[in-house]
Structure 1
Amino acid sequence: MNRLYSVAEIRAIEHAAAAVLPDGALMQRAGQSGANAALDMLPFSTNRARVLVLAGPGNNGGDALEAAAHLAYAGASVTVLHYPPTGESSAERQAALQRARVSDAQFAEAADTDGATDTDAATGTAGAAEALVAGADWNLVVDGLFGIGLKRPLTGAMRSLVEAVNLLKCQVLALDVPSGLNADTGAVVGAEGVAVRATHTITFIADKPGLHTWEGRDHAGLVDVSRLDIDAALFPPASMHVNDVKLFARHLRPRLHSSHKGSYGNVAVIGGARGMAGAPLLAARAALHTGAGRVYALFVDEPLPCDAGQPELMCRGAGDFDLETAALVIGPGLGASSAAAGLLARAIAGDGALLADADALNLIAATPPLREALAGRKHPAVLTPHPLEAARLLECPVAEVQADRVLAARKLAASLNAVVVLKGSGTVIAAPTGAVVINTTGNPALATAGTGDVLAGLCGGLMAQGWPQWEAALGAVWLHGMAADVLVADGAGPIGLTAGELIPAIRVALNRMVQHHGR
Structure 2
Amino acid sequence: MKTMGNQNDRFGCVYSVAEIRAIETGALSMQLDQANPGTKSLMQKAGLAAANLAIELVGNLPAKILVLAGPGNNGGDAFEVAAILASRGHAVHVVQCGNAVDYSSDALSSLRKAQSYHVQLIDAVALASLPSDWALIIDGLFGIGLKRAPEGAIAGLIRHINQLAAQNAIPLLALDVPSGLSAETGQLAGTDGIAICATHTISFIGDKPGLHTGQGQDYAGQVSVESLGIPSSLFPPAKAHLNTAESLKGILQPRKQNSHKGSYGDVIIIGGASGMVGAAILAARAAQFSGAGRIYCCIPGVGPQYDSLHPEIMFRVPEEMDFEDHHVVIGPGLGTSAAVQALLIGAIKSAKTLVVDADALNLIAADPALAQLLASRTAASVLTPHPLEAARLLQQGVAEVQADRLFAARKLAQQLNAVVVLKGSGSIICKANGDVSINTTGNPALASGGTGDVLAGVTGALLAQGCSAAEAARIAAWAHGYAADELVEQGTGPIGLTASELLPLIRKNLNWLTKG
TM-score normalised according to structure 1 size: 0.94
In structure 2, what is the Cα distance between the partners aligned to 1:439 and 1:201? 18
**d(CA) in 1 for partners of 2:420, 2:327:** 17
Match of 2:54 in 1: 38
Matched, 1:311 2:311: yes
Q: Does 1:83 align with 2:97?
A: yes
Q: What does residue range 319-468 of structure 1 map to in structure 2 within 5 Å?
A: 319-468=319-468
Among candidates 33, 41, 45, match of residue 29 of structure 1: 45
CA distance in structure 2 between the aligned counterparts of 1:142 and 1:245, rounded to whole angstroms:
31
Offset at residue 248 of structure 1 (A)? 3.5
Moved more, 29-38 or 68-77: 68-77
* 201-210 vs 306-315, greater mean Cα deviation: 306-315
Please say if residues 174 and 220 of structure 1, whose CA atoms lie closer than 8 Å, have aligned partners that are also in contact. Answer: yes
Choose from 55, 60, 67 the match for 1:53.
Answer: 67
* Cα deviation, residue 315, structure 1: 1.3
Task: Give, in whole Å, the separation in 2 of the partners of 1:128 and 1:279.
Answer: 58
Deviates more, 1:324-333 or 1:208-217: 324-333
Is the 1:130–1:160 Cα contact (8 Å) retained in structure 2? no
- Counterpart residue type for residue 14 of structure 1: E
**2:134 is the alignment partner of 1:151:** no
| Shift, 1:244, TM fit | 2.4
Give the drift of 1:2. 1.2
Contact 1:52 1:78 in 2 (8 A): yes
What's the offset of the Cα at 1:5? 0.7
Give the superposition deviation at 1:311.
1.0
CA distance in 1, matches of 2:271, 2:54: 52
Query: 2:239 is matched with which residue?
Result: 239
Letter of the 1:152 partner, please give it.
R
SS at match of 2:250: helix
The answer to whether the 8 Å contact 1:303/1:316 transfers is: no
Report how many aligned residue pairs link the two structures. Answer: 496
The letter of the residue matching 2:23 is I
- Equivalences for residues 161-172 of structure 1 within 5 A: 161-167=157-163, 168=165, 169-172=169-172
* Structure 2 residue aligned with 1:197: 197
Residue identity opposite 2:66 in structure 1: L
Contact 2:250 2:513 in 1 (8 A): no
Partner of 1:263: 263
Confirm or deny that 1:513 pairs with 2:513. Answer: yes
| Contact 1:130/1:161, CA 8 A, preserved across alignment | no
Deviations 1:428-483 (A, max 9, x none): 01111110110111111111111100000001010001111011101110111111
Please name the residue that 1:17 is paired with.
27
Give 1:94's match in structure 2, choosing from 90, 108, 123. 108
Aligned-partner Cα distance in 1 for 2:435–2:366: 27
- 1:125-146 deviation line (CA, Å, top 9, x unaligned): xx444555xx421111000000
Measure, in 2, the Cα distance between the counterparts of 1:174 and 1:335.
46
Could you tell me which amino acid in structure 2 is paired with residue 157 of structure 1?
A
Question: Does the 8 Å CA contact 1:479/1:510 hold for their aligned counterparts?
Answer: yes
For 1:190 and 1:70, how far apart are their aligned partners in 2?
34
AA aligned opposite 1:455? L
Report the Cα distance in structure 2 between the residues aligned to 1:88 and 1:497, rounded to whole angstroms. 52
Where does structure 1 differ by over 6 angstroms across 4 or more consecutive aligned residues?
A: none
Q: Which amino acid aligns with 1:457?
A: G
Per-residue deviation, residues 292-349 of structure 1 (Å, max 9, x unmatched): 0101111011131111121111111111111123210000000000111010000000
Give the SS at the match of 2:419.
strand
- The amino acid across from 2:88 in the alignment is A
Q: What letter matches 2:224 in structure 1?
A: D
Indicate whether 1:217 and 2:217 are aligned. yes
Q: Deviations over 1:1-60 (max 9, x none)?
A: 411111111111101101121486000000001101111111x3421x211000111100
Q: Secondary structure at the match of 2:511?
A: helix
Partner Cα separation in structure 1 for residue 352 and residue 432 of structure 2: 18
* Deviation for aligned residue 1:86: 6.7
Cα–Cα, structure 1 residues 333 and 422, in superposed 2: closer, same or farther, change >3 Å?
same
C-alpha distance in 2 between matches for 1:424 and 1:175: 26
Task: Report the Cα distance in structure 2 between the residues aligned to 1:129 and 1:147, rounded to whole angstroms.
Answer: 22
Amino acid at match of 2:242: V
Structure 1 residue identity aligned to 2:64: R
Give 5+ residue unaligned stretches, structure 2.
Answer: 1-10
Matched, 1:477 2:481: no
Contact 1:330–1:360 (CA<8 Å) still a contact in 2?
yes
2: CA distance, partners of 1:170 / 1:89 = 29
C-alpha displacement at 1:501, in angstroms? 0.3
1:160 counterpart residue number: 156
2:309 aligns to what SS in structure 1? coil
For residue 71 of structure 1, what is the aligned residue in structure 2?
Answer: 85
Which amino acid in the other structure matches residue 150 of structure 2?
Answer: L
Indicate the residue corresponding to 1:287 in structure 2: 287
Q: Partners in 2 of 1:373 and 1:108 — Cα distance?
A: 64
Contact between 1:484 and 1:502, CA under 8 Å: does it hold in 2?
A: yes
Q: Which residue identity is paired with 1:98?
A: R
Contact 2:380 2:468 in 1 (8 A): no
* Cα distance in structure 2, aligned partners of 1:11 and 1:143: 21
Provide the C-alpha distance between the structure 1 equivalents of 2:420 and 2:50, rounded to a whole number of angstroms. 36
Q: 1-side partners of 2:215 and 2:392: how far apart?
A: 22
Paired AA for residue 50 in structure 1: K
CA contact (8 A) 1:351 1:378 kept: no
The answer as to whether partners of 1:46 and 1:74 remain within 8 angstroms in 2 is: no
Q: Counterpart of 1:120?
A: none
SS at 1:54's partner residue? strand
Is this contact kept in 1: 2:327–2:351, CA < 8 A?
no
TM (norm. structure 2) is: 0.94
**Distance (Å, rounded) in 2 between the aligned partners of 1:386 and 1:260:** 35
Structure 2 residue aligned with 1:184: 184
SS at match of 1:46: coil
Residues 93, 119 of structure 2: 8 Å contact kept:
yes
Matching residue's letter, 1:35: A
Shift of 1:373: 0.2
RMSD of aligned alpha carbons: 1.3
Which residue of 2 is the match for residue 7 of structure 1?
17
CA contact (8 A) 1:27 1:92 kept: yes
Q: 2:355·2:383 contact (CA, 8 Å) conserved in 1? A: yes
Aligned counterparts of 1:218 and 1:246: Cα–Cα separation in 2: 23
**CA separation in 2, counterparts of 1:455 and 1:400?**
24
CA contact (8 A) 1:247 1:471 kept: no
Residue 455 of structure 2 aligns with an amino acid whose one-letter code is L
Contact 2:205 2:225 in 1 (8 A): yes
Task: Describe the superposition over 1:181-230 as per-residue Cα deviations: whole angstroms up to 9, x where unpaired.
Answer: 00000000011110000000000000000000000000000000000000
